[in-house]
Structures are given as structure tokens and as C-alpha cells.
């Protein structure tokens, strides 16, 4: 795929390979890893605007960042325009350059609360949320799906609404809400949206290799791709796609992630995050299943280092 920079308002993304917001994974350390390997933009885990309003401690922890993160992007989840506008302009998000509005989460409890992909059923409210977040003065992006049901997709029309409301970029997961995370993404729907708007369109869904990324770009004409779970399984994919050199081993990366995480979070969080990340990174490594249980039983950083060495070192 062609690697290029993307202009978002006053920001210039260094590449058009993005990392999706993923609950439990895209904390500050992982975002820094993805940036180091060539990602153009990475997002925090999904943050509830309502939870932020009441200064929920666990939600505030999702906002951990540092000056080394040159471009900071937060993903906000919410369905009340006034609350979304208030949080977008609040001191809690003062360090962030980009606000990504979640209009794609398909899980039932989010959908039933009128948030996530439910906003694709209420364009007036969705537009009000975009306009409200724009009043923060930050770059505003939207992540959505192709529609609610597989037999009734309206990607291009929804993309036009987002652009008219002021969105600077739209990322489209090529599945409808009813498809959840299964089934082949509809590249044609993303292509229709790309043809309908002038703002950057990013293609997401079903990308598990460099070949998949190239195929998605070719089929959609999108301005870039957004990686999700495969970015955890193979972080080197960012380097493979962008050509940014990386001579580190998987073990080195994992140990650096542990060190950085311990610097900003407590030990409990660190152990949980590193175990989850290692679990993804070892997926296609042969002969490692026997060490997996030992890794997940590790109760200290030292024990986790030893278990990881058995898995990731020759």
C-alpha cells in the first residue's frame, strides 16, 4: 500500500497506518510502541463521557499520556450532546489534540443506552455531538460502521452527514452493527463513502496482514487503514507497512513495554496488561502453549520476565 501523510486540521499525521482504540490494550505504553514502529495516529481506549464527567478514577486512568506522545488522540463514547461538548472542552482533555467520537461500538449495553452505533440511527443527535465537540477547538474524527443491519447499509450518506457537521476524518469499520466482529467487511461501502466526501476516510476491519491492508486500500480507495487486533498480535506490522526500521525482538518489545508501564501505572495494572499483550503476541508461535499457564500465573514482574523469556527467546 502507498504510505503517505494525512492532514487533519493543523495536524500532519506521519503515516496513514492507524491503530484502533482497543479496551484493555491501547494504553499509553502501547500507543508509544505503535508510534515507534510507524503508526500515524493511535487512540486511547474508549472513554465514557459520562464517567469522565463524574471523574471516575478508572476512566481517568485511560487518559494517561506524556509529552513524548507527540499527537494525542482520545476516543469518547457518549450519547448526550451537552455532556460530550462539556467533556471535549474540559480540562481533563486539555492535553489531547484529537477527539474521536465512537459511533460504531456494537455491544448491546452500549447500543441500548443510545451510544456507539446507536447514533447511526439518530443523525440529528449524532450531528449535534460532532458540532459540540468541534467547539472545543480540537480536531474531531468519527469512527462508525456501515449501518445497523447487513440488508440496510447507508455508509456514504452517514459520512456526508459527518462531514457537514464538521468532522475532520471518518474511520469506517466495514461491517454493520448486526455483524458485530464477524463476516467479511464490505469494502464497497467504504469505497462509496470515500467517493461521497472530501475529508480523509480510513478503512477498518478484516486486516490481518500487509497483503490485507494493501487489498483494502485498493478496493476502497481509502486514505489509510486502521489496524485493530492484528496490531496486538503482530506489532511489527506497522514497521512492515511503513518501512520504518525496527531491529528489536518480540521479547525486547515486551520487556520495554513492561518497564514503561511500571513507570506510569501500578504493578497490578502492569502485570495484567503485559500478560494480555503477550497472550496475543504468542498466538502463532509454535510450542509455547505449555508456557502459557505459567505466564498467566506469574505474580510479580520477575516471574513474568522469566515466563516471557521461555516463550519469546530462542
Q: Which residues are annotated as catalytic?
A: 105
157-163: long-range contacts (C-beta < 8 A, 24 or more apart)? Answer: 157/196, 158/120, 158/123, 158/193, 159/193, 159/196, 159/197, 159/201, 160/196, 160/197, 161/123, 161/126, 161/127, 162/126, 162/127, 162/130, 162/197, 162/199, 163/197, 163/198, 163/199
Closest listed residue to residue 126, CA positions, set 80, 157, 76, 194 = 80
Contact 204, 20 (CB under 8 A): yes
Q: Exposed/middle/buried for 289, CB within 10 Å: 0-12, 13-18, 19+?
A: exposed
The count of other CB atoms within 10 Å of the CB of residue 295 is 20
End-to-end CA distance of the chain: 32
Helix axes 187-196, 210-220, angle to 10 degrees: 50
Contact yes or no for 291/274 (Cβ under 8 A): no
CA distance 122 to 98: 23
Element housing 169 (H / E)? strand 169-173
Amino acid at each position: 500500500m502507498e504510505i503517505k501523510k494525512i492532514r487533519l486540521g493543523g495536524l500532519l499525521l506521519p503515516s496513514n497506518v492507524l491503530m484502533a482504540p482497543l479496551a484493555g490494550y491501547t494504553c499509553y505504553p502501547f500507543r508509544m510502541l505503535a508510534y515507534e514502529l510507524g503508526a500515524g495516529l493511535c487512540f486511547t481506549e474508549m472513554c465514557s463521557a459520562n464517567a469522565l464527567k463524574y471523574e471516575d478514577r478508572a476512566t481517568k486512568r485511560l487518559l494517561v499520556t506524556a509529552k513524548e506522545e507527540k499527537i494525542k488522540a482520545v476516543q469518547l463514547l457518549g450519547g448526550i450532546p451537552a455532556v460530550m461538548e462539556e467533556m471535549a472542552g474540559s480540562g481533563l482533555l486539555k492535553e489531547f489534540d484529537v477527539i474521536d467520537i465512537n459511533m460504531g461500538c456494537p455491544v448491546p449495553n452500549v447500543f441500548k443506552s443510545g451510544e456507539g452505533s446507536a447514533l447511526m440511527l439518530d443523525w440529528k443527535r449524532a450531528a449535534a455531538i460532532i458540532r459540540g465537540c468541534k467547539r472545543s477547538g480540537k480536531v474531531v474524527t468519527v469512527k462508525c460502521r456501515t449501518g445497523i443491519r447487513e440488508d440496510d447499509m447507508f455508509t456514504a450518506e452517514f459520512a456526508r452527514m459527518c462531514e457537514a457537521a464538521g468532522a475532520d476524518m471518518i474511520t469506517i469499520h466495514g461491517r454493520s452493527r448486526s455483524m458485530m466482529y464477524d463476516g467479511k467487511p464490505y469494502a464497497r461501502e467504504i469505497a462509496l463513502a470515500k467517493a461521497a466526501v472530501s475529508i480523509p476516510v480510513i478503512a477498518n476491519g478484516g486486516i490481518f496482514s500487509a497483503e490485507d491492508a494493501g487489498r483494502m486500500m485498493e478496493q476502497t480507495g481509502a486514505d489509510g487503514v486502521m489496524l485493530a487486533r492484528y496490531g496486538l498480535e503482530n506489532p511489527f506490522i506497522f514497521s512492515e507497512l511503513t518501512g520504518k526500521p525496527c531491529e528489536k525482538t518480540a521479547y525486547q518489545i515486551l520487556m520495554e513495554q513492561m518497564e514503561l508501564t511500571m513507570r506510569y501505572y501500578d504493578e497490578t495494572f502492569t502485570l495484567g496488561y503485559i500478560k494480555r499483550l503477550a497472550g496475543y503476541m504468542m498466538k502463532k508461535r509454535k510450542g509455547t502453549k505449555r508456557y502459557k499457564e505459567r505466564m498467566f500465573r506469574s505474580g510479580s514482574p520477575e516471574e513474568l520476565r522469566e515466563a516471557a523469556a521461555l516463550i519469546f527467546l530462542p
